[in-house]
Structure 1
Amino acid sequence: MRKISFRYFFLLISVCLVGCGSDPVQEDLLNYVNKELKQAGELENIALDAYDSVTGQNYKDDQTMYDVISLTVIPTYRDFIMELEDVKAETEEVRKLHEQYIEAANIQQGAFSLILTALENQSHEKMSEANAKLAEARKMLRDYNKGIEDLAKEHDVELN
């Protein structure tokens, strides 16, 4: 009887040590940031760089802005969202943050579409609505980034 008890005890200790030695959230977060988001991040950068090239100080005229947003920003950003939808997160903590990212991206995509409508109709009201959506998406993205930073600290992951 003691042999059986000792074996079960040893088995339980072994399982606990294996569980204590690995952190599934840490592993998932590392995979998420370093692998899963790589392609999506590249597409997002292309879309946002194109958008930045025709807004703010880089604004030239409405037609140029319309062409870049309709031909580059929106299609690339749509591909970015599709990539985001394919990202797999194994843990609830990473999944929850990822859903925030998807929601913010969809709001931003809607804002880009509203900008086109505003330009087509020369509507200051629609442009204001688009800018409000962009501001909402930026806030959500800041919250997402803060959540990633907090989760990284909590699970001893160094972000570069």
Structure 2
Amino acid sequence: MKKIIIKGLIIISIILTTIGLIDYNYTSYSEISDDYYAYSVPINDEIELLELYESLNGEMNHDNNAFYNSFTQQIIPKYKDYITLVEALDSPKTEEVRKAHEIYINAINARYSAFILLQQALEDQNSELKNQANEKLIEAEDLMNNYNEAMRSLAAYYGPG
């Protein structure tokens, strides 16, 4: 008799889990949607820093000292502060949004690593380090593209219908 009751409870649990009434790892559509809309990184701050970097990049051909000074005194410290700010943000509540956020953090850290390599390359006049910095910038860009794709996917599925 006990075995029949236990089997019956197991079958009921399987049925309820299958139809979504019991799911210990279940995250509802609305939870993910709410988390997606609540998620925000201060991306405009990064855009401003990258625009400054791009404008300085043009100066590199004209005046390496001006580029180096602005790069090391403005961009690198401000970008480090930006990373600290983003990493201090509350982590998204749902796994789906949290994965996208982690990609973003990896992207900005890769970009910062590239900046540090470029600084070292300029100080040492080392073309190999400069190549490594460029490769790291490409890696950062690829990660940023992955982040943008993840956010587009979330928007397509959890955004406004």
TM-score of Structure 1 vs Structure 2, range by shorter chain: 0.7 to 0.9
Q: Could you report, residue by residue, the CA deviation over 1:43-72 in whole angstroms, capped at 9, with x for unpaired residues?
A: 2123212211111x4532221111111111
2:56 aligned counterpart, secondary structure: coil
The normalised TM-score by structure 1 is 0.77
Q: Which residue of 2 aligns with 1:51?
A: 53
The alignment's TM-score, normalised by the length of structure 2, stands at: 0.76
- 1:77 counterpart residue number: 79
Residue 131 (structure 1) aligned with residue 138 (structure 2): no
Cα offsets for 1:109-159 (capped at 9, x unmatched): 01001111111111111100000000000001001101100111011348x
1: distance between equivalents of 2:43 and 2:158?
Answer: 23
The 3-state SS of whatever aligns with 1:54 is: helix
Q: CA RMSD in A?
A: 1.8
Residue identity matched to 1:23: S
Higher Rg:
2
- The verdict on how the C-alpha distance between 1:58 and 1:91 changes in structure 2, with shifts beyond 3 A counting, is same
Q: How does 1:114-153 map to 2 (within 5 A)?
A: 114-153=117-156
Secondary structure, aligned partner of 2:159: coil
CA contact (8 A) 1:28 1:94 kept: yes
Q: Match of 1:90, SS? A: coil
CA distance in 2, matches of 1:98, 1:133: 20
Of all paired residues, the percent bearing the same amino acid is 33
Consecutive aligned runs of 4 or more in structure 1 exceeding 2 Å deviation: 57-61
User: In the TM superposition, what whole-angstrom CA distance separates every residue of 1:87-108 from its partner, at most 9, and x where no partner exists?
Assistant: 2211111111101110111111
Gap runs ≥5 in structure 1? 1-15
